[in-house]
Amino acid sequence: MTAQHDGPLRGRAALVTGAGAGIGRGVALALASAGATVVAAGRTRSTLDGVVAEIVRRGGRALAVRCDVRDLDSITQCLGVIRDEVGKLDTLVNNAQTYRHAALLEATDDDLADTWASGPQAVFRLMRLAHPLLAADGGVIFNFGSGVQLDPSDSFHGTYAAAKNAIGALTRTAAVEWGKDGIRTFLIVPAAESDQLAAFRTRDPERYAAMLGRVPLGRFGDPEVDIGRPIAWLAGPEATFMTGTTIMLDGGQMYLR
């Protein structure tokens, strides 16, 4: 690995799940640009290797670890790699989450189980197992919510919204219980460009335009610039009195509607 970037996160280490694409990739790049050593975790090694190569090309430090957050053994092995090869963990970004779109009467037990396993159960496990590393030097946890959990008029997102609300509860509870350990937590609600959003735009341009019309700033965010950089700032030394709150990185889409 090349020499580490100078920056507010120099000397710190971050784990980003779902780092191979979309928001996870953007957050990984931003944290590395701020100086952190980044562990890019996900299920597809080839995409993770691409993110690591981009970070190294920019002069940062990173390694890829294959991890399926739905599997406890996989999580345990990932954290073992961090302990052995990095030696510390200061920032945990729980970004990975599967998504199944269905009305409640059409959703299956498997839909709920998979959404739960990749969402609140994975977040619960990662937070608990990473706690000793995070508590060693005042760590930060970023969990991800969604606009669908805030909009009571939304439909076809019931299992996903339920999972995201559970993640919000875990985030707030950890802020209260682990503040004494120097651990801060945030719930991030983003609205950013992604491969899934691009596919949706192609598949249903009218609904995409309607969604975009609900964003006061008139665009969806860039995963690195508009989502990753604020997270990097929150993880740094200038935000150490902030914890347990929801950060809306959605261009005003929800709270200004």
Q: Which residues are catalytic?
A: 160
Distances (CA, A) of 230 to 7, 21, 32, 67, 166: 14, 18, 13, 25, 23
Q: Tokens 């839909």 sit at which residue?
A: 111
CA distance linking residue 150 with residue 146, whole number of Å = 8
Q: Tokens 């707030």 sit at which residue?
A: 172
Largest CA distance in the chain: 54
Question: Exposure string (b/e) for 108-142, b if CB count within 10 Å is 16 or more?
Answer: eeebbebbbbbbbbbbebbbebbbebbeeeebbbb
Which residues, 6+ apart, have CB-to-CB distance to 246 below 8 Å?
145, 168, 186, 187, 188, 189
Are 142 and 186 in contact, with CB atoms under 8 Å apart? Answer: yes
Q: Which residues on neighbouring strands pair with residue 102, listed in sequence order?
A: 157
